[in-house]
Amino acid sequence: MSITLRAPAKLNLALDITGRRSDGYHTLRTVMQTIDWYDTVTVDLAEDEAIHLSCDGGIPADEHNIAYRAAALFRERTGMRRGVHITVEKHIPSQAGMAGGSADGAAVLRALNELADTPLPQEELLALGAKLGADVPFCLMGGTMLATGIGTDLAALPPLPACCFVVVKPEGGVSTPEAYRLLDSAPTLLHPDVTALCTAIEQGDLNGVIACMGNSFEQPLALPHTASVVTLLKQHGAAAALLTGSGSAVFGLFRDASTAEAALAALQQRYPNARLCHPV
């Protein structure tokens, strides 16, 4: 029996870095949203006791891959002796701030939990996810969520008011460690009002959502290719446009699909991988 799951990407509607702990981890407040840009993850049990991973897109297919580590951690926790075959079909860009790797890891945990004779309760699955990466618990839950602490403390929010996104992954990028190094050396940071954003979402106030969007990483990174995409999105009707996560993907929020489709057509002339996405 094999299980195939769609692993959705995420966007950060607002991301505020609030501090740094003594262990080096940064604390944050962020509102995350899953979108309909998916990797496809297929998991099957093997006759041997090994973990077999196939992953396209030039992504490592070994213990450096979070999907592989998810399988190893699940087997360690549950005592599962069967081997695992994992196939990851990549569509979410890498080094984009869209949690593609975390989404894959979460999908492996969900699939193995379904295949297991004694599945783990949700709380334990989330705890396993937190050991793999700060975004994995959110990827296990999906939807619209407020994340705090290091990103693993989650609180569900109502669905976003009707809107859509145009998402662009420009050439180049910056690794997450390098992004945090630049952030730590920045003299000042943007601090979006995440609390006000949550209130706007709860009230179904799209104007309020737009007014509160922002990302603490944008100023310290100051990537020229990112800034040009933000400008283009706004020129083509985006009500707001910003970096997601630590980048380098950029997204614009649009009030209506027709404006977003026109913007997509214009941007695809320069950025062929631009995509129209919706909250899921």
pLDDT at 204: 98
Q: Domain extents for the chain?
A: 2-156, 164-277
pLDDT at 95: 86
pLDDT at 232: 96
Q: So what CATH class is 164-277?
A: alpha beta
99: left (phi over 0), alpha (psi -120 to 50) or beta: left
Contact between 242 and 229 under an 8 Å Cβ cutoff? The reply is: no
CATH code for residues 2-156: 3.30.230.10
Measured CA to CA in angstroms, residue 49 lies from 64, 126, 159 at distances of 19, 25, 42
With H, G, I as helix, E, B as strand and everything else as coil, classify residue 261.
helix
Contact between 133 and 101 under an 8 Å Cβ cutoff? The reply is: yes
Q: Which of 10, 90, 104, 169 is catalytic?
A: 10
pLDDT at 184: 84
- From first to last of its 280 residues, the chain has per-residue pLDDT tens of 899 999 999 999 999 999 988 887 889 999 999 999 999 999 999 989 999 999 987 788 889 999 999 999 999 999 998 999 999 999 999 889 999 999 999 999 999 999 998 899 999 999 999 999 999 999 999 999 999 999 999 999 999 999 999 999 988 777 778 888 888 888 888 899 999 999 999 999 999 999 999 999 988 777 777 889 999 999 999 999 999 998 889 999 999 999 999 999 999 999 999 999 999 9
- H or E element in which residue 196 lies: helix 194-202
Q: How far apart are the first and last CA of the chain?
A: 27
Give φ, ψ of 76 to 5 degrees.
Answer: -65, -45
Query: CA-based Rg of the chain, rounded to a whole angstrom?
Result: 19
Measured CA to CA in angstroms, residue 170 lies from 74, 79, 94, 270 at distances of 35, 43, 11, 9
Q: Which of 16, 90, 135, 169 is catalytic?
A: 135
pLDDT at 260: 98
> Is 10 a known active-site residue?
yes
